[in-house]
A and B are shown apart, each in its own frame.
Chain A
Amino acid sequence: MRELSLNVMDVAQNCITAKANVVTIEVIESDKKDFLDIYVKDDGCGMTKEQVESVIDPFFTTRKTRKVGLGVPLFKMAAEQTGGTFSIDSTVNVGTTLYAHFIKSSVDMTPLGDINSTVKILIQCNPDIDFLFSYTTDHGSFTLDTKELRGILGEDVPLNTPDVLEWIDGFLEEQTNNIHGGATP
C-alpha cells in the first residue's frame, strides 16, 4: 500500500462486512509530538478473542475466494515499521476498534495520502451506512458526520447523489486546507 489512506479504505471494508451502522474514522496527527494516530471503529458484529488473534495472521480470512487475508496484517506492518503500535479491541455484538499509532518522522513512515478520497468513496459506495470522519492536526480539527448531512437532505435524497458528493468533496478539501495552516497537505 502506497498510502495509509488506502489501508483505511481496506480495513473500513471489514466494518461494512461486519454490518456496521456507523463507521468512525479518526485521524490525529501532530508534527510537534511526532505521531499520527488512526482509529477505525464500527458498531458491527464484533469478533471473539480467538478471531481477533487470528485476523493478524495473513493466512486467516473469512472470505471464500482466496486463502489469504492481507488487509489487517498490512496495516499492522505499516504502523509497526515506524516503531509505532497496532491494536484491535473487539466485543461480539458491540463492535470493533482498530487503532494504529505511527511515528511520523520514521524513515519507514508511509504517507497518509488522500484520506479525503477514501472517505468520499466510502460514502459514495455505502450510502446506507453512516460515517463519522474527524481529522485533527496541530492547527485545528474538523468533523464530517453523514448523519448530520442525512438530516438536512431528508429521506428522498441519497448521500451518493452526484451534487452531494461534490459538496462533500469540496467541504473536505476546504477543511483539510484549514487544519494544515492553509497550505495544501
Chain B
Amino acid sequence: MKSLAELQAIRDKAKLELNMRHENPDAIRVLVGMATCGIAAGARPVLNAFTEEVAKRKLQDVTITQTGCIGICQFEPVVEIEIPGEDKVTYVKMTPEKVAKVVNDHIVNRNVVTEYTIGAYK
C-alpha cells in the first residue's frame, strides 16, 4: 500500500540529494512534442521511455519535458535534445524502442544518432 508516510521518507531523502536540478542552467533538456499531433502519433510512450531510461541510469541534470507543436506534424513523435553549448538536435518518428539508443549514444556519450534525426528523413 502506497502510504503518505512513504512520501515523507522520499521527501527527506530528496532533500539530502537536492542539487538544484530543476534550476541548473547546464541541464540537458529533452523536449517531447505533445500537441494533438504528437499525442496521436504516440508521444506518450516515448516520453515515458525517456523518463524510465534516465531514471534507470540515474542520470542527473537531465530534464524531460513536453513542448507544443513545432509545425512538422508529419514527423511526429518529435523529440528535441538541447545540450548547453551544442546545437539542438531534432529526432523524428520516435518510438520507445529508439529511446535507449538516443539516451546511450547522445545524452551519455554525446554522439548524435544521425539516422533518427530529421536530416535523415528529408
A interface residues, how many (CB within 8 angstroms): 39
Please determine whether B7 and A164 come into contact, CB atoms closer than 8 angstroms: yes
Please determine whether A125 and B10 come into contact, CB atoms closer than 8 angstroms: no
Please determine whether A124 and B6 come into contact, CB atoms closer than 8 angstroms: no
Q: Does B122 reach chain A (CB closer than 8 Å)? A: no
Nearest chain-B residue to A71 (Cβ)? B36
Q: A152-B7, A174-B2 are in contact. Are A9 and B39 (CB under 8 A)?
A: yes
Question: What 1/0 flags go to B35-47 for Cβ under 8 Å of A?
Answer: 1100110001001
Q: A10-B36, A152-B8, A164-B14 are in contact. Are A124 and B2 (CB under 8 A)?
A: no
Chain B residues in 8 Å Cβ range of A166: 55
Q: Does A165 reach chain B (CB closer than 8 Å)? A: yes
Question: What 1/0 flags go to A108-152 for Cβ under 8 Å of B?
Answer: 000000100110010011010000000000000000000011001
Nearest chain-B residue to A9 (Cβ)? B39
Q: Does B4 reach chain A (CB closer than 8 Å)? A: yes
Cα–Cα, bound, A149→B3 (Å): 11
Nearest chain-A residue to B12 (Cβ)? A157
Chain B residues in 8 Å Cβ range of A149: 7
Residues of A within 8 A of B (CB): 1-2, 6, 9-10, 13, 63, 65-66, 69-71, 74, 114, 117-118, 121, 124-125, 127, 148-149, 152-154, 156-158, 160-167, 170-171, 174
Residues of B within 8 A of A (CB): 1-2, 4, 6-8, 10-11, 13-15, 18, 22, 34-36, 39-40, 44, 47-48, 51, 54-55, 64-66, 68-71, 73
**6 A-B pairs (CB sep. < 8 Å):** A9-B34, A65-B68, A65-B69, A127-B22, A158-B22, A174-B2
